[in-house]
Amino acid sequence: MSLIKEKNYKRYEGAALQSYNKELKLEAYFPSEELKEAVELARFLQRPLLLRGQPGCGKTRLAEALAVELYGDEYKKHYKPWYIKSSTKAREGLYIFDHLKRLRDVNMQKENVDLKTYRKLGKLGEAFEVSTAEKPAVLLIDEIDKADLDFPNDLLRELDENRFSIPETGELDVQAEYPPIIIITSNDEKELPGAFLRRCIFHYIEFPGESLLLQIAQAKIAATFEKELPEEALKKLIERFKKLHDDMDKHANADLPPSTSAMLDWVSMIAQQVSTGKMTFTKDHDLKDWEDTLPFPGLLLKSLDDYRFGTKKNS
């Protein structure tokens, strides 16, 4: 094993997206210390980082935030997101060959056509193509558990050796000059094969504590609204949200505790209502007329059981 070989290596500190980036239109992202450490290990060991955590906890956004930190305005050149669907095949990530176009050209008796014009690289292929030791690409394989059970195993060789072949064009060795930084996310709906897991390193994104939630909410409101919510009032909203989340998390009858992203929608909705004067705060920084009832429960409670649970407790 070697030291990190990336040239111009700099540690991911999560500094680039501490607030809304107007030019790139990207919202703030606050990684925990543990997550930064896991990213460093993944780069050090050149192994995919498998991220898990509840839906909406910020798994998918890490890769983009990392790319922005490394490459700033030019991050799109180096950031390759591959969003997996239930029908996604491993080969689609490498390349797609346009058979129909080729058939048409054959029928039109076009000659001397370069076969490479019929193939288009997939996201994994693109990441291999652009990744260098100076500027390693950042590849996101999002929600890998959505695909067929065999999908992760079909990628083993490519992820191990950072190379693949395209038999249709005779390209037998498409190889990455330097391995891309690979971030894989999973919602744990399905177990992943052991052979795949042993090639990865792992991190579970825990639900953020109140201070981090407050930071996230402040950044969101600052980016969306001209006028910010008073800090004390926002603190109370976050406390309320966190309590609901924790109650639901502990309670067996609750289905899906609200996520961080649901919290952002909820706080934004309240901020919007406050900015238009439809809601106000009391002297104690509570929402006037909403002290005992949960406002906009539909934004936080996503199933009928949860709705009953969340609204009953507060009414």
Partner 1 sequence: MNTDTLVFYDFFTQLRKQTDLQLDMDQYTLFLELFARGYAWGDKEQLRRLCSTLWLARPQYRDIFDREFDRAFEKWIATTPAPQPEIPAKANKKPETTENQTELTTPQGKKEPEQPPPAPPPVSPPSTPESSRMAAVYLELSDVDAEEEQGQAGNADGGSILEHAFILTNHFLPVKERRLQQNWRYLRFKAEKKPGTEIDIGATVERVAREGGFIDFEYEPRIEYKRVFHFLIDHEGSMVAFEAMAQQIVNAFRSSLVNTQVHTWYFHNYPGEVLFENPFHTAAIDTASWRARLRKNPAALFIISDAGAARGGEQFERILATYDWLEATRRYAPQTLWLNPVPRSRWPGSSAVYIASFIPMVDISKSGIAMLPELLKRL
Residue with tokens 């450490």: 37
Two tokens, residue 132: 């260098």
189 binds partner 1 (CB under 8 A): yes
41 binds partner 1 (CB under 8 A): yes
d(CA 266, CA 302): 13
Q: Which of residues 241-300 bind partner 1 (CB under 8 A)?
A: 250, 252-253, 255
Total residues at interface with partner 1 (CB under 8 A)? 46
* CB-nearer residue toward partner 1: 74 or 188: 188
> Residue 228 in contact with residue 280, Cβ under 8 Å?
no
Q: Which region, judged by CB under 8 A, interacts with partner 1, from 62-70, 95-103, 218-226, 239-247?
A: 95-103
Least Å distance, CB 94 to partner 1, is 14
* DSSP-assigned states of every residue in 189-249: SSPPPHHHHTT-EEEEEPPP-HHHHHHHHHHHHHHH-SSPPPHHHHHHHHHHHHHHHHHHH
38 binds partner 1 (CB under 8 A): yes
Least Å distance, CB 303 to partner 1, is 7
135 binds partner 1 (CB under 8 A): no
15 binds partner 1 (CB under 8 A): no
Interacting residue with partner 1 among 20, 71, 97, 296 (CB under 8 A): 97
Task: Give ∠ CA 232-14-4 in degrees, rounded to 5.
Answer: 160
Least Å distance, CB 195 to partner 1, is 8
d(CA 206, CA 255): 18
> Residue 186 in contact with residue 144, Cβ under 8 Å?
yes
Q: Which region, judged by CB under 8 A, interacts with partner 1, from 18-26, 32-40, 123-131, 284-292?
A: 32-40
d(CA 6, CA 70): 12
190 binds partner 1 (CB under 8 A): yes
Q: Give just the sign of the alpha carbon dihedral 179, 180, 185, 186.
A: negative
201 binds partner 1 (CB under 8 A): yes
Interacting residue with partner 1 among 22, 25, 198, 312 (CB under 8 A): 198
Q: Which region, judged by CB under 8 A, interacts with partner 1, from 23-31, 35-43, 170-178, 260-268?
A: 35-43
Residues 6+ apart with CB under 8 A from 23: 73
> Residue 233 in contact with residue 281, Cβ under 8 Å?
yes
Interacting residue with partner 1 among 137, 200, 238, 271 (CB under 8 A): 200
50 binds partner 1 (CB under 8 A): yes
Least Å distance, CB 28 to partner 1, is 24
What are the backbone angles phi and psi of residue 165, rounded to the nearest 5°? Answer: -125, 160
194 binds partner 1 (CB under 8 A): yes
Strands 49-53 and 201-205, sheet pairing: parallel
Residue ranges binding partner 1 (CB under 8 A): 1, 3-9, 11, 34, 37-38, 40-41, 44-45, 50, 52, 97, 99-100, 102-103, 106, 149, 188-195, 197-198, 200-204, 250, 252-253, 255, 303, 305
